[in-house]
Structure 1
Amino acid sequence: MPRGKATAATNKTATAQSNVKKNISQHKDEVNSQIKLQGQEIEPEEDISYAQNKSPSLDLSKFKYEKKPHIKIEYEKESPVKQVIRYQHLISLMLSSQTKDQVTFAAMERLRERGLTIDNVLSMSDDELGKLIYPVGFWKTKVKYIKKTTQTLKEQYNGDIPDSVEKLCKLTGVGPKMAHICMSVAWNKVTGIGVDTHVHRISNRIGWVKKPTATPEDTRKALEAWLPFELWGEVNHLLVGFGQTICLPIGPNCEECLNNDICPSRGIKSPKKTTPMKVKEEIDPLDVKKKKL
């Protein structure tokens, strides 16, 4: 073969290889720029392997997303501070029965100042605890209830309060109303409607129960039978304030009530309590004369 033709073929081969390398280099630059736009960095010393006359391939293994294990935090239930707060919620509810809110609040302030914890309450004498909670309603009975319930919490619940209505109702001095309210305020769980004397009275007056109910527990069951679950947690605090200011047990202020046009009990006056008349003492005329003398 003539020398000139061999040289021309060699030059063509060299030119073709140069063009391939040039195309590969350009493609690498394009890929790198695309990755940088996506926020990824490629180290200068790293190289991307390309096969000659084949489509380039990029190793994306280092960009693979690895899901991190879920971390579960359980400090709330085990926190001693949370346990003390739950215990104080329970004690406040026990004191509130048959007691005005301001009296309950004052008693709780005195207890907190003394140190309202399970160990502190158990170390108090009945006399000291009674002076701290006086004058809440039935304070002598509540002293016994608080002491017994506190001892049960220490022995059976490791210083915490039960986390169910059934267990709460087994504590001395705790009924269904307290249990449902305690579940809401202490455990942030709605388990039922807290029906006290105000909710019981108003529900019967405005016809929220199909038939008149005799006890708060009967009222609770009647309300839960038709009231939507998402409203259960609102009933107590709405009706209690209403019952303390407007829909009073005796002499309700129907003229001030915004529901007087739809309330079936409007204008019906509750019987007022009658107190026995004091018998006047007979005065001896002789005693009068003696005093004048």
Structure 2
Amino acid sequence: MKRADIHNVYKLLEEEYLSMDEPSVTKISKQTKRDPFRVLVSCLISLRTKDEVTLDASIRLFNVADTPEKLVELEEEEIQRLIYPASFYKTKSTTIKNISSVLINEYNSIVPAEIDELVKLKGVGRKTANLVVVEGYGEPAVCVDTHVHRIFNRLGYVKTKDADKTEIELRKHLPREYWIRINEILVAYGREICKPVSPYCSSCRLTDYCDKVSVDKRR
């Protein structure tokens, strides 16, 4: 893919996304009017967890505790019960409670808006930090998850080995105007069309632009 074609590709992705289901964290962001704390907690729940499970677990938890102060009052067993069956729910309950405590004691209960500060929170990596900046604060950041990494490499827009390197390259080359929405769009597109194995190239509107890197089987 020629990098100059990114504007055409993004326009097509936006059009396709209109008929797709939004990612769970995007839904939480809209439902809470961009509450950074609830976005952060939803991001933590979402790690290696199906989207529908993330959404339901987040809503159950927030119906009981939707602030750091309320969350630290819960026993970990109660948090576990509320977010189950999210994967690693026991570990996540500890992480969520610990982060809530740190936010109260060190950040005046305010989720940091800077990536460098967010990654200081134990359990928060760059993907989560970038997503909190985007969905919690509505500010440009490049959130690279497995879908973003796979699709941009498959297109031939970047040639990278891991998500961190993909983020670096996208920060260099992806127009800043696309940073905020690119993750939510590609998460949806990666689930429905550009799947990890045997993508639906026959119904993909990007096919004329795509280099189809490492695509052995397609539908």
Alignment of structure 1 residues 24-39 onto 2, 5 Å: none
For each residue in 1:39-85, what CA deviation from the matched residue of structure 2 results, as whole angstroms up to 9, or x when unmatched?
xxxxxxxxxxxxxxxxxxxxxxxxxxxxxxxxxxxxxxxxxxx9x93
Structure 1 unaligned blocks of 5 or more: 1-81, 272-293
3-state SS of 1:130 partner: helix
For each residue in 1:201-234, what CA deviation from the matched residue of structure 2 results, as whole angstroms up to 9, or x when unmatched?
111101110x3x1211110111111111122112
3-state SS of 1:260 partner: coil
For each residue in 1:232-264, what CA deviation from the matched residue of structure 2 results, as whole angstroms up to 9, or x when unmatched?
112111211100101111221122211223322
Give the match for residue 108 of structure 2: 158
3-state SS of 1:268 partner: coil
CA contact (8 A) 1:252 1:269 kept: no
Cα offset, 1:160, TM superposition: 1.2
Q: Percent identity?
A: 36
Cα offset, 1:134, TM superposition: 0.8
CA distance in 1, matches of 2:186, 2:62: 28
| Equivalent of residue 97 in structure 2, options 123, 147, 154 | 147
CA distance in 2, matches of 1:98, 1:267: 24
3-state SS of 1:208 partner: coil
Give the match for residue 57 of structure 2: 107
Cα offset, 1:267, TM superposition: 9.1
Q: Does 1:131 align with 2:81?
A: yes
Give the match for residue 23 of structure 2: none
For each residue in 1:117-166, what CA deviation from the matched residue of structure 2 results, as whole angstroms up to 9, or x when unmatched?
21221111111111111111221221121111111001001111112110
CA distance in 2, matches of 1:171, 1:267: 36
Q: Does 1:241 align with 2:191?
A: no
Give the match for residue 214 of structure 1: 161
3-state SS of 1:261 partner: coil
- Structure with greater proportional helix content: 2
1:257–1:195 distance in 2 versus 1, CA, 3 Å = same
Which residue identity does 2:145 align to in structure 1? D
CA distance in 2, matches of 1:147, 1:127: 11
Q: Which has the higher contact order (CA 8 A, sep 6+)?
A: 2
CA contact (8 A) 2:154 2:214 kept: no
TM-score, structure 2 as length reference: 0.79
1:120–1:248 distance in 2 versus 1, CA, 3 Å = same
1:155–1:262 distance in 2 versus 1, CA, 3 Å = same
Cα offset, 1:86, TM superposition: 2.1
CA distance in 1, matches of 2:162, 2:139: 24
* Runs of 4+ with deviation above 3 angstroms: none
Give the match for residue 87 of structure 1: 37
TM-score, structure 1 as length reference: 0.60
Structure 2 unaligned blocks of 5 or more: 1-31
Structure number with greater Rg is 1
CA distance in 1, matches of 2:217, 2:143: 24
Q: Does 1:224 align with 2:190?
A: no
Give the match for residue 203 of structure 1: 152
Give the match for residue 257 of structure 1: 204
1:131–1:270 distance in 2 versus 1, CA, 3 Å = farther
Matched length = 186
